[in-house]
Structure 1
Amino acid sequence: MKKIHIIGLGLLGGSFALAAKKIYPELEITGFDSDSGNLDLALDMQLISRGLAVPDKDTDIVILATPVDTLFALLEKTLDQVGENTLVMDFGSTKDQLCRQMSQHPKRQQFLAVHPIAGTENSGPRAAQADLFDGNVMIICEMEKTDVHLKGMAYEIFDALNLRLRFMDPKDHDLHLAFVSHLSHATSFVLGKTVIDKTADERNILDMAGSGFTSTVRLAKSSPEMWGPIFLENKSNVLEAFDSYIEHLTAFRKKIAEDDIDGLKADMREANRIRDILDFKE
């Protein structure tokens, strides 16, 4: 592997560039970002060596790390541009619709649908971290539809980055992510807005914000440009997650209203089980 091209030079794209350069010092990394400021910054930070609107024909892997609502058109365009020995991967947080849209593409075998379960609430090239992917999960969908030799390059770099591979059906991926990722981001945004609306004096928020509030609302600092499209692309699953969450929240509210201390404690003990699950995962 000699050359990688990254489209979208924010947190994920930039972090992948840093990690790949650390492991493969001789690797040439080119890139592009529709935000000229991000592109200039990525060049200044030496995340990429050259800014290219179109990847070179001899590029081994092209990575698409842009908002999910841009991926279908960008993926089609990119596949049309690359040579027959180039693999194209997307880092999008939704997979079902994209995989269905790409099912009949003549170069479908050159596409690998992946989703790194890694990130922070920060965005842009300055948010890039060389160790962002280390030890985390990379979900791969419909791997059987990708050329075996091309996806071998991806597996090689995933292994070098210490990523743990998980293979999922695109529909299952989107449903599960709606509950464990998309819902948590949405509720964090709503919590942040609720507190801001209630407290006109922002200093009061800062003065009274403890670690519980800070950790719970952390995701509200995430990029609306990235998360707005995710909520709409995964609309049906996100709404299902919301319905379940609202049902549980309403039941919890009812127990408070009725002074049902035993019911409250029972619900909280049930929720405490998440600690064992997360401890086991870690």
Structure 2
Amino acid sequence: MKNIYAIGVGLIGGSLAIDIKKNDPDVVIHGISRKDSTLNKALELNLIDKKAVLDDIKNADLVIISIPVDATVKLLPTILDKISDTGLVVDAGSTKEDICKVVENHPKRRNFLAMHPIAGTEHSGPTAAIEGLFNGKTNIVCEVEKTTFKLQEKALKLFTDIGMRIRYMNPVEHDRHIAYVSHLSHISSFMLGKTVIEKEKNERDIFDMAGSGFASTVRLAKSSPEMWTPIFKQNKTNVIETLEEYINNLTHFKELIKTDDFDAVFSEMESANHIKDILKGIH
């Protein structure tokens, strides 16, 4: 896969470009973006070798789509129209059901691999791209059986070569699970940030007291609303379900404190401590 086209050269697209190029310097990375300024920055940072436009992807061995999921749903059928019979298109979206659905009957469905590399930071844009972002991280691949074997084999080798573990899941299951482990944590962080900002209007010193615990908990509130709003929209049913469970747990915890049942408060936190065993080894 020598000619790689990155549609979107921000955190995910840019970081993939860095690692792929480091692993194989002969690869030529072509960047495609709505904004010319983004491509100029990507060139300046050596994330890409050349600028390109959509029509150029007929020359692609691999196209990596790393744009908001609503834009992916709109653009993916057109990209598949343009890809050659020997080219492969992959997407890196945080939701999978709608993306897989939009191309389920496309004549070139076999040239598409739906995936979700579970890695990232709260930063966005080309300057957020970093080397080694995907090392040791999991890449969820959906509907692998619908992709031509020879193409999926090449792509999966490319991603394992940069340190990723491959896990297979169907799109519905993926979206349900990711609502708990990613989407809910982002909403919690956004709303914690909102709560503290509203309080800070009256208490100017509050941020002087914010320690590393607050900083790590609210870190995700710095994430891009442009990226996350479409994710919540596409995964609305699962997100609502997880929010209802989370709100019930918060309400229950509040009631325990209200009624001075601190033995139960202790037990709730002690049972939640089990998360450290589950997450052992995850950074």
After TM superposition, the score normalised by the length of structure 1 is 0.97
Residue 186 (structure 1) aligns with: 187
Name the aligned partner's letter for residue 60 of structure 1: D
CA contact (8 A) 1:196 1:202 kept: no
Aligned length: 282
1:236 counterpart = 2:237: yes
Q: Secondary structure at the match of 1:241?
A: helix
Distance 1:267 1:233, change over 3 A: same
Residue 262 (structure 1) aligns with: 263
Residue 12 (structure 2) aligns with: 12
Distance 1:246 1:66, change over 3 A: same
261-270 or 197-206, which deviates more: 197-206
Name the aligned partner's letter for residue 194 of structure 2: K
CA contact (8 A) 2:30 2:50 kept: yes
In 2, Cα distance between equivalents of 1:170 and 1:151 = 17
Within 5 A, what are the aligned runs for 1:62-211? Answer: 62-200=63-201, 204-211=205-212
CA contact (8 A) 2:134 2:164 kept: yes
In 1, Cα distance between equivalents of 2:58 and 2:238 = 38
Report how far residue 203 of structure 1 moved.
Answer: 5.2
CA contact (8 A) 2:57 2:63 kept: no
Residue 50 (structure 2) aligns with: 50
Report how far residue 199 of structure 1 moved.
Answer: 1.0
In 1, Cα distance between equivalents of 2:58 and 2:15 = 24
In 1, Cα distance between equivalents of 2:40 and 2:170 = 37
Report how far residue 201 of structure 1 moved.
Answer: 6.1
CA contact (8 A) 2:77 2:102 kept: no
Deviations 1:3-43 (A, max 9, x none): 10000110000000100110001100001111222111001
CA RMSD of aligned residues (A): 1.2
In 2, Cα distance between equivalents of 1:177 and 1:261 = 32
Q: Secondary structure at the match of 1:57?
A: helix
In 2, Cα distance between equivalents of 1:258 and 1:34 = 55
Name the aligned partner's letter for residue 222 of structure 1: S
CA contact (8 A) 2:73 2:98 kept: no
1:29 counterpart = 2:29: yes
Name the aligned partner's letter for residue 10 of structure 2: G
Q: Secondary structure at the match of 2:115?
A: strand
In 2, Cα distance between equivalents of 1:24 and 1:185 = 34
Distance 1:126 1:203, change over 3 A: farther
Name the aligned partner's letter for residue 122 of structure 2: E
Q: Secondary structure at the match of 2:192?
A: helix
Report how far residue 153 of structure 1 moved.
Answer: 1.4
Deviations 1:133-154 (A, max 9, x none): 0110000000000000111111
In 1, Cα distance between equivalents of 2:26 and 2:52 = 19
Q: Secondary structure at the match of 1:279?
A: coil
CA contact (8 A) 1:95 1:174 kept: yes
Name the aligned partner's letter for residue 168 of structure 2: F
Name the aligned partner's letter for residue 240 of structure 1: E
In 2, Cα distance between equivalents of 1:69 and 1:100 = 13
In 1, Cα distance between equivalents of 2:242 and 2:199 = 26
In 1, Cα distance between equivalents of 2:220 and 2:204 = 20
Report how far residue 233 of structure 1 moved.
Answer: 0.7
Name the aligned partner's letter for residue 53 of structure 2: A
Q: Secondary structure at the match of 2:217?
A: helix
CA contact (8 A) 2:110 2:148 kept: yes
Structure 1: runs of 5+ lacking an equivalent: none
After TM superposition, the score normalised by the length of structure 2 is 0.97
